[in-house]
Amino acid sequence: NESDSDDDYFPQNSSAKEIEEISRVQKRTIERAKSIEKNVKTEQRRVLFDKKTAQEKLKSQEIRLLGFGGCLACKHSPCLKVDNIDRVALDKRKEQLSDEILFVRKQASNSIIDSVVARSTLMGGEIHFKKEDLMHELQCEIKEIDAELKLDAIDRELHDAYAARHQFIEVQSLHGHRTLLNTEDAISALEREHNKLIATLTAKEIIDDILGWMLDGWYFGEIENTIISCSKNIGLVPTNSKANVRGETEVTVVPNDEEKLKDDSQTPLERAISVQDECNKRHEHEQNIVENKKE
């Protein structure tokens, strides 16, 4: 049998060189078959023990396509993330507001304060404020700046979470301290907080625009430049009563019980000017009292 098999592989008239070549081909064929069988077993073992989900496989494919330095959040190489706010300017403004609040807290409770730091003053409004009104405006602006800074921090961490290639990441903007979270849980929490802050800021901007539009149109019965009263009994007050409005500059005047208006024939604008003069005199008197106490 061995001779028959040898005759099949090696013809009778073949030379030694041909026999050697045939043996080399046979060995190469056998080695190739063994290699294919090994690869098949390896692939079967990999499929059997592979626990990656379809999403993880898709993510691995995206990483390979993006190459070195690619960003999974931007789907681009390199990353296209840019800052939406000027953090340095906001921090500087916040520090300025904090210093102004410390100054206001030292003043008397019923005093009139001049401030050029308040946002309404920077937009062209009055510089004379009651202590409570100025404190409220400064604190509200600080809260808005804190919300913008927090939104920017959440936006950056949300971008990093989408670009993460590990199962866990560190998050700080949610609670103010570093926390290790699962990447998917971190994305869910950051998106929820991100959407809440955007909704809050957007609603506030819309309300401010509506109130500003109504004030510009004198829907509250006020003149264009609102005069802040320095007295509880004399001053300009808002009104929406048609009986008290005879023109675009008409306002409601609350007379003092002890001292009535001397001339009823004055126009509304003249009465407003006289009230403003009275406010200025009272303000100067209070400032002199404060300076004398300091001396």
Which pLDDT tens digit goes with each residue over 57-90?
Answer: 677 777 777 777 778 888 887 888 888 889 999 9
pLDDT in tens, 179-223: 999 999 999 999 999 999 999 999 999 998 888 888 777 665 544
Distance of CA 119 to the CA centre of its chain: 20
Among residues 82, 250, 63, the alpha carbon closest in space to that of 166 is found at: 63
267: helix, strand or coil: coil
Q: Which residues make beta-bridge pairs with 168? A: 182
User: Which token pair is 154?
Assistant: 């959440």
In angstroms, rounded to a whole number, what is the distance separating the alpha carbons of residues 102 and 92? 16
SS in 3 state form for 242-265? HHHCCCCCCCEECCCCCCCCCCCC
Q: What contacts 227, CB < 8 A, 6 or more positions away?
A: 126, 235, 236, 272, 275, 276, 279
- Which pTM was predicted? 0.55
pLDDT at 291: 76
DSSP state of 178: -
Instruction: Give the whole-angstrom CA distance, residue 111 versus residue 132.
Output: 9
